[in-house]
Amino acid sequence: MTTTAGRAAGIALRRFGRRHRELGYCWAIGWCGVGALAMTLVCVPASLLTDGDPDRGWLRTLRRLADHYRTVPARFGGTAVVRPYLRDRPPREDPAYRRDLAFLALESVIAPVLLLGPSALVWYGLFGLLAPGIAALLGSPGGLPHGTVLTSPAVALAAALLLYYAGLRLAAPASRLHARRWLPRLLGPDPSVAAEVERRRLAERVAELTETRAAAVDSREAELRRIERDLHDGAQARLVAMGLALGALETLMETDPDRARELVRQTRENSARALTELRDLVRGIHPPVLAERGLVDALRALALDAPLEADVDAKGLTGRPEGPIEAALYFAVAELLTNAARHGDAVHARVELSHDGQVLRCAVWDDGCGGAHEEDGPVLGAGGSGLRGIRRRLSSFDGSIAIESPAGGPTVVTMELPCVLSSPKTSSSSGKDSAPS
């Protein structure tokens, strides 16, 4: 009962936080639209009076601003807009240059109208909640500040809560409409050069895949060298020692029985250690529970052994991905849970798995101190090398990783891998209680 109530409270808190993040997006981008008006008054006359030299400061600022807006759709579940600039054309002959100017002018109108509306409702609702107190402080003769229509405190409170709720509800569709529809349409490539931009994007994609495949080969070779080193320094050394001990036993059994019994005991201990090291080595390559029970149960078993309280939600997963993808996600989640406890001081974590028919998505949430950032690759506090390893591991399967970790937390790491699920196999459905021990 307590666990269910706590889980429901956690879901409610996450939903509450998401609503207010969307409201914050509306507030911030809405005021940025107001700032875009000032830039419009500078950039449009400058475009008419200058030669469009790409080294001019106003043009560099315009492109940096447009590039920043092109990354916004990815934060709302969409895809970042491709940079449409043509390197072999001067700015005045590049359609993207004109589209950036048009975006700047229209954004200064659309963003305030579309996005400041939900924020205004919320702020006016908060004003309604505070109006009686303000009236008491100001000593208004009518009991409420000038301009307040509702004079009944109960009605004012109900209206304030309604406005606040309406603002939160409108923030999500308004922010998604702006991020997923408006920005891609205006900041994407012009139809006249779309084919050229697409060819350039595909060429860059080929170069990226070539680089990731080379990194995957290097990673595989490093993994094989690690396995060889672990076998040589661990199990192999113990097996050699066991062989020498068995050879000595043939002599000691007749000449020194006590010493022979001690040697038998040591040999037994060495054999147990060798088996343990071999199991650990196999588990590091491909955990047995992953092969036997699948990704969901393997993650639930991992959650039981994690250094913090962790839950696994896989209701949206109706089958199993391929073995290598399961292994990649398993080790990625293991690294993230370890980082959350070690570097983020997290107490609770949650792993959510879903599949939309083409992409397997895994989101790992924790209530730690946050502070994830990217610096020569993803870096999370002192655990940056682990996250860089995750990115390399996922890139072998054309996967991606996105980190959302404001200072103070929470941290949400979302991993996506393109794959098709096989037919459902044996999998438990009761959460942590049914995980294998």
Q: Give the torsion sign (CA, 311, 313, 318, 324).
A: negative
Cα(190)–Cα(89) distance, integer angstroms: 14
Taking the alpha carbons at both ends of the chain, their separation in whole angstroms is 23
Cα(312)–Cα(314) distance, integer angstroms: 6
Per the CB < 8 A criterion, the answer to whether 421 and 410 are in contact is no
CA-CA distances (angstroms) from residue 87 to 52, 95, 200, 435? 14, 12, 10, 55
Q: What are phi and psi of 355, to 5 degrees?
A: -145, 130
pLDDT of residue 324: 82
Tokens of 134: 């303000």
pLDDT of residue 133: 66
Cα(384)–Cα(404) distance, integer angstroms: 14
pLDDT of residue 150: 53
pLDDT of residue 67: 78
Q: Which long-range contacts (CB under 8 A, 24 or more apart) does 260-265 make?
A: none
pLDDT of residue 218: 67
CB within 8 Å of 300: residues ≥ 6 apart:
312, 428, 431, 432, 434, 435
Tokens of 190: 């012009």
Q: Give the torsion sign (CA, 235, 237, 243, 245).
A: negative
| Intervals of the chain under pLDDT 50 | 1, 142, 146-147, 376-383, 425-437
Closest to 403 measured CA to CA, from 383, 379, 386: 379
Number of Cβ within 10 Å of residue 83's Cβ equals 17
3 state DSSP class of 339? helix
Cα(270)–Cα(275) distance, integer angstroms: 9
Number of Cβ within 10 Å of residue 431's Cβ equals 15
Cα(381)–Cα(392) distance, integer angstroms: 18
Please give the domain boundaries of the chain with CATH numbers for all domains. Answer: 19-189 (no CATH), 204-285 (1.20.5), 294-434 (3.30.565.10)
Widest CA span in the chain: 112
Number of Cβ within 10 Å of residue 387's Cβ equals 23
3 state DSSP class of 400? strand
pLDDT of residue 431: 40
Cα(22)–Cα(28) distance, integer angstroms: 10
Q: Which amino acid is at 293?
A: R
* Per-residue DSSP letter, 343: T
Per the CB < 8 A criterion, the answer to whether 326 and 295 are in contact is yes
* Geometric angle at alpha carbon 72, from 67 and 77, rounded to 5°: 140
pLDDT of residue 375: 53
Tokens of 163: 């406005």
